[in-house]
Structure 1
Amino acid sequence: MRSKMAALFLLLVLVLVLLLFLQRFSSSSYRPPPHRPASHRTGPTQPGSSEGDGLQYGVMFDAGSTGTRVHVFRFRMENRGFPSLDRETFRAIKPGLSAYADDPQKCSAGIMALLDLARSVVPPSQWTRTPVVLKATAGLRLLPGDKAEQLLDRVRALFRESPFLSTEDGVSIMDGTDEGISAWITINFLTGGLQGPDRPTVGMLDLGGGSTQITFSPRHEKTIQMSPIDDIRSFQMFNRTHTVYTHRYTHRLHTQLKASVCFCVPTAGGSAERVSPCLAPGFSGSWEHADIVYILKGQKEGEPVYEACLNKVQKVLYRKLSAVPEAADIDFYAFSFYYDRAVNLQAIDEATGGTIRVSDYGQAAERVCRGPPHLQNPFLCLDLVYISVLLQELGFPAHKQLRLARTVRQVEASWALGAAFQHLEALRRD
């Protein structure tokens, strides 16, 4: 009897010891995952990071006057912080945001469609660390402040509801100077000028109907010292400090010129009749600007169109611009009207671009102004004279060659890519 009791007691002791051992082993093998609060701001993947295999995405909205475009960039972060552009996805919709100034809610459908495109391109695992940015340009700049801000507030709300990384400063109206700097970053990234201090950079010329922009990186300290302080900007990009000269002439010279090259005779119907020295004899047509329709007429037969137009343009531009230091020494890319008018002249291929000398614009202006009316573009004579005089006033010599391009390495040479880099750089610093 005692032996049975002893055996049962021993068995119970062994069971208890076994249970204690199992409990201790279990508690020492399991650790609950640490709590990680959601973060609304993260920087881009650093070189060598295993997350996303070194990939970083960025979503950039370009809200222009005629439409809204989205660029979805995929970068590979490598080579000591210098990224490579792995892929770009692009889509555009019309009209522009400014068309919804009286009813901001109506812009939602278009913005959501472009966000859906971004969601289909960016892997879900990358959504919360992919910044989404909207920069508005000409269209919203012209709206009254409250209407523009209401549109931007609506976009901010849509971005916050999206799965992407959204910040308050990620939706804004782009300053004209920043637009020029962003375009400079884009073109120099694509041409390799930003890859190291020993790589030469190129300058950027842009010409629209309302303004002209010039941006380049000075090679001589004297240029920086002699330039107005507001024309010199420094910024960090790809672990280097870049200093650029940038100036935007916002006098709306070109539009102003079209409105002032003629003698104005207002009519009872709210229109104005103008006789232009830059239009061919016998020409008759119309032009609308600032809600006024101008009836345009060419000069009388026998009048010297080229000489009269050149004289008028020179008077309008006189002392409006400053000669650009180093303009003769630095390679420049030119965009917008420079490109379009060279295509009109068949001086470059419309798809691939090319090069043109400054003197080519002047020679073409003389030929076009003295020739028959250009039916497709009656302002071609004026545009060419304007470009020729503008470049001379900026200090470009007649023999200077400009490179004209819409894309570089099959990527659109616009400010969007440069602005995306600037936003990623700001996130990295934060």
Structure 2
Amino acid sequence: MPPPTVADSWLAGRHFGIVIDAGSSGSRIQIYSWVDPRTIHVEQGSTLARSLPKVEKGTQNGEDWVFKVEPGISSYADKPETLAEHLRPLLGHARNHVPPSLQHETPIFLLATAGMRLLPPGKQAQILHHTCRFFLLHSYFKLEESSEAGPCGSNVRIITGEEEGLFGWIAVNYLMDGFTGSSEDRTTFGFLDMGGASTQIAFEPGKEHRNDKNLIDVRLRLLGGDEIHHKVFVTTWLGYGTNKARERYVGHAIREQEKTKTIGSSDVIEDPCLPKDLELTEMPMQADSAPHAHEAHRLRGTGSFEQCMVKTSSLLNKTTPCPDSPCLMNGVHVPPIDFSVSHFIGVSEYWYSSEHIFGLGGAYDFVQYERAASDFCSHSWDSILKQHERIKAQHQPLGGDGEVEKDGHIVEVGRWDPSVERSRLEMQCFKAAWIANVLHEGLGMPRIVDAGGNGTTTGHQMEEQAEKKGLGKPTFQSVDTVGDIAISWTLGKMVLEASKEVQPASSMARPIVDPIDDLPNKTDSPIKPIRPPFFDLDAIEDRITPHLPVSLSRSSLGFSPVLLLLVFCLCFVFVVIIYPLRRHIRIACLRWIRDGSKRDKEADLLEEGIGLNGYSPGGSRPPSPTGLRKFLEPLRKVLPGVRSTRPAPLSVITSSNPNLRHMQENSSARVSPTRASFDPVMATTTASSISRSPSPAPAIYQDEIPNYMSGNGHQYQPSASSMARSLSSRSRNASQMSLSNSNGTALPRQTSLSRASSFHEHE
């Protein structure tokens, strides 16, 4: 079906959003749409102003807004380069139903769940990289830039079980009007979801427990611009989905059989969780059954729902230590649940196990549920298959509770839909027992029934009776759709995206973001975002391999050529650069340690009023060398291109120093009147000191110049006061040298003073 055209009135002001639920068994794409909130006229105080944007199916007609392919993307872990085969039909479905003119502003999300969570981080990164790359190359849909969330930002990533639960909680309360009404009397629904690998719970605790440190802020913006705020508890139990629970159950059964096995005993394991006389060959989980982890075992059904309930209850791990009380299953903390106030909606497996075989979807009644499960499990497998074949041949439509109607009368009850697969029939007894155990033994939901049971009621009658008795809403309901919209966490994600587009009532309001992006402290948060490693060798290899000869490919070498190249580069860097500099690096480190000690010593001397290197405490000091300059100095000897950090020659420094420039001028043009006559004694002394190389330099060079050129290469500019003191000292020393003449008489003291004053005049 082609996408709608621009002339279609249904498209006026409409926005689209696409979510691909990448689960463990398959990927389901769902297309949603909503009217741009900025184009809706909303009167303040109206019912519309207290509502969220209306999220609908993304197609105007038909049920093709959803499309599924199998298997899940986690099955491509060992061959991610073939992932395009899986994604191509999904992306093609989206392009066929979103107008081309709107695709560039339509976000597409691929959010992976439990199947991807079980993979190692490296394989997770490979799959996400190939998925992002495929979307970028083959579509114009809106994608974020690469970030810590993933290669395509938050559009392509793995969500945690907690995020899945939060999105589901938003979807349930959106469809069940849990967000309507005033904040004082608003009561939200709890959310229960169970898949093949995990199960989640999300609910808003009572007011007395809303200070729990594990609560997550969920913010949404109503059409009127006001924000609603809820504190929600959410947690997930990985391995507590029906498929993973079955694997654990089989492993436990094999261990028990191995403990009691004797010579000559049968290898067949009696399984009360299979229909009577059904035999299956199953592989246990390797982590749960050590001696025969790789061996298949035969299990034969005995068809006892009551015994199956007992056998599966131990899988809840209720005895696991609880570090943060109270806990439910497997030592996981959960705030107390008041089931007289909190009402829960169960989706996915809660609905499938209740409705598809028993026809008991909707309001939950444990007595009726237990009766239907016991009846099904006790039937022989042959009779179940014959009934299934007969149903498929008749193609009779079923009522809401598995009832067959004829001429307005119910002629048969307990019939399942012809589309039910054989695998569902095989596992129905186990799944029904597991669902009941999780609800009552795991979560603590009470088994509240009428005296003597509800032997005459059906699912929808249970809700009517509860309302007549004033009991309010039923404690638990299994639901698949509300109206024509399926309850799914993907809907909650799109409600959040539509809410982000609402203009806030105040310019100071914070933007609406995903709950995981609203965490004040992700380190201590109960939600730990899944962030596979950003650096991916396989992704780099994908880009390099087409440019390499076939002999250098991974298939020919047996290992990654990129890894080999990386190791070679590291070795090259070490041998060519690091190894020749090993001594200089060691010296630089020792110098850095020594300078640290020197700075400490200088601080002590400054406290006593003594400066290092002849400097007074008030004078300026040469800046300490940085670590980079210390490293570059020895590196310059090996690599000529590196800029030297040595100081300029003394003559350059002197000529560029304004405090020293007058000294050069004084030696030629500017002569002090007191030094107009030639002093043979001074000339002889100066010439002698210059000609003798081993002798120390005059006082000004001996005291000041070494500090001009410090060891770190920095130039030091002496102050005028320090220069005056040095020259004064030199004049004084020179005058003392000529105190005695040839006849032994001393020269007058004012000669020295006149020379000092002469220097000040030139200053």
- TM-score with structure 2 setting the length: 0.43
CA distance in 1, matches of 2:426, 2:84: 39
C-alpha displacement of 1:95: 2.8
C-alpha displacement of 1:285: 2.4
Matched, 1:203 2:190: yes
The change in CA–CA distance for 1:69 and 1:192 in structure 2 (over 3 A counts) is same
| Partner of residue 252, structure 2 | 260
CA distance in 2, matches of 1:289, 1:187: 36
| Partner of residue 42, structure 1 | none
The change in CA–CA distance for 1:180 and 1:61 in structure 2 (over 3 A counts) is same
| Partner of residue 203, structure 2 | 216
* Contact preservation (8 Å) 1:132, 1:165: yes
CA distance in 2, matches of 1:401, 1:332: 6
| Partner of residue 82, structure 1 | 52
| Partner of residue 171, structure 2 | 186
| Partner of residue 412, structure 1 | 486
Superimposed CA distance per residue, residues 224-261 of structure 1 (whole angstroms, 9 cap, x where no aligned partner): 34x5x33x211212232122122222253723234324
C-alpha displacement of 1:60: 1.1
CA distance in 1, matches of 2:307, 2:354: 23
Residue 219 of structure 2, aligned match among 201, 216, 236:
236
Matched, 1:170 2:187: no
CA distance in 2, matches of 1:60, 1:191: 22
The change in CA–CA distance for 1:367 and 1:85 in structure 2 (over 3 A counts) is same
Q: Which has the higher strand share?
A: 1
SS of residue matched to 2:57 = strand
Matched, 1:149 2:125: yes
SS of residue matched to 1:83 = coil
Read off the aligned partner of 2:194 and give its amino acid letter: L
* Contact preservation (8 Å) 1:152, 1:172: yes
Superimposed CA distance per residue, residues 151-206 of structure 1 (whole angstroms, 9 cap, x where no aligned partner): 11112123334322201121101101111111111122122222453553222112
C-alpha displacement of 1:280: 6.1
Matched, 1:295 2:298: yes
CA distance in 2, matches of 1:205, 1:258: 25
C-alpha displacement of 1:315: 3.6
SS of residue matched to 1:143 = coil
**Structure 1 stretches lacking a partner, 5+ long:** 1-51
C-alpha displacement of 1:99: 2.9
* Contact preservation (8 Å) 1:358, 1:397: no
* Contact preservation (8 Å) 2:277, 2:380: no
Read off the aligned partner of 1:201 and give its amino acid letter: T
| Partner of residue 70, structure 1 | 29
SS of residue matched to 1:237 = strand
C-alpha displacement of 1:416: 0.9
Matches within 5 A, 1:203-352: 203-218=190-205, 220-225=206-211, 229-230=213-214, 232-238=215-221, 239-252=227-240, 254-255=245-246, 256-261=248-253, 263-265=256-258, 273-279=268-274, 282-290=277-285, 293-298=296-301, 305=304, 308-317=307-316, 318-319=318-319, 322=328, 324-343=336-355, 345-348=357-360
CA distance in 1, matches of 2:27, 2:428: 28
CA distance in 2, matches of 1:286, 1:413: 35
Between stretches 416-425 and 406-415, larger displacement belongs to 416-425
Read off the aligned partner of 1:340 and give its amino acid letter: Y
* Contact preservation (8 Å) 2:200, 2:234: yes
Read off the aligned partner of 1:93 and give its amino acid letter: V
Read off the aligned partner of 1:259 and give its amino acid letter: G
Read off the aligned partner of 2:15 and give its amino acid letter: Q
The change in CA–CA distance for 1:372 and 1:82 in structure 2 (over 3 A counts) is same
SS of residue matched to 1:246 = strand
Matched, 1:358 2:348: no
Greater RCO (Cα-Cα under 8 Å, separation 6 or more): 1
* Contact preservation (8 Å) 2:250, 2:284: no
Residue 385 of structure 1, aligned match among 416, 420, 433:
433
CA distance in 1, matches of 2:92, 2:433: 46
SS of residue matched to 1:57 = strand
Superimposed CA distance per residue, residues 63-100 of structure 1 (whole angstroms, 9 cap, x where no aligned partner): 12222221121111244482112433222222322232
SS of residue matched to 1:84 = coil
Superimposed CA distance per residue, residues 279-301 of structure 1 (whole angstroms, 9 cap, x where no aligned partner): 566553223454753310346xx
CA distance in 1, matches of 2:135, 2:375: 52
Of all paired residues, the percent bearing the same amino acid is 28
Read off the aligned partner of 1:274 and give its amino acid letter: I
| Partner of residue 93, structure 1 | 69
CA distance in 2, matches of 1:108, 1:369: 42
Superimposed CA distance per residue, residues 309-337 of structure 1 (whole angstroms, 9 cap, x where no aligned partner): 34333344334662851233222211233
CA distance in 2, matches of 1:191, 1:98: 33
Residue 402 of structure 1, aligned match among 476, 486, 497:
476
CA distance in 2, matches of 1:369, 1:69: 32
CA distance in 2, matches of 1:406, 1:209: 16
Read off the aligned partner of 1:382 and give its amino acid letter: F
C-alpha displacement of 1:390: 2.2
* Contact preservation (8 Å) 1:358, 1:401: no
The alignment yields a C-alpha RMSD, in angstroms, of 3.2
The change in CA–CA distance for 1:314 and 1:154 in structure 2 (over 3 A counts) is closer
| Aligned residues between the structures | 363
* Contact preservation (8 Å) 2:21, 2:28: yes
The change in CA–CA distance for 1:241 and 1:368 in structure 2 (over 3 A counts) is same
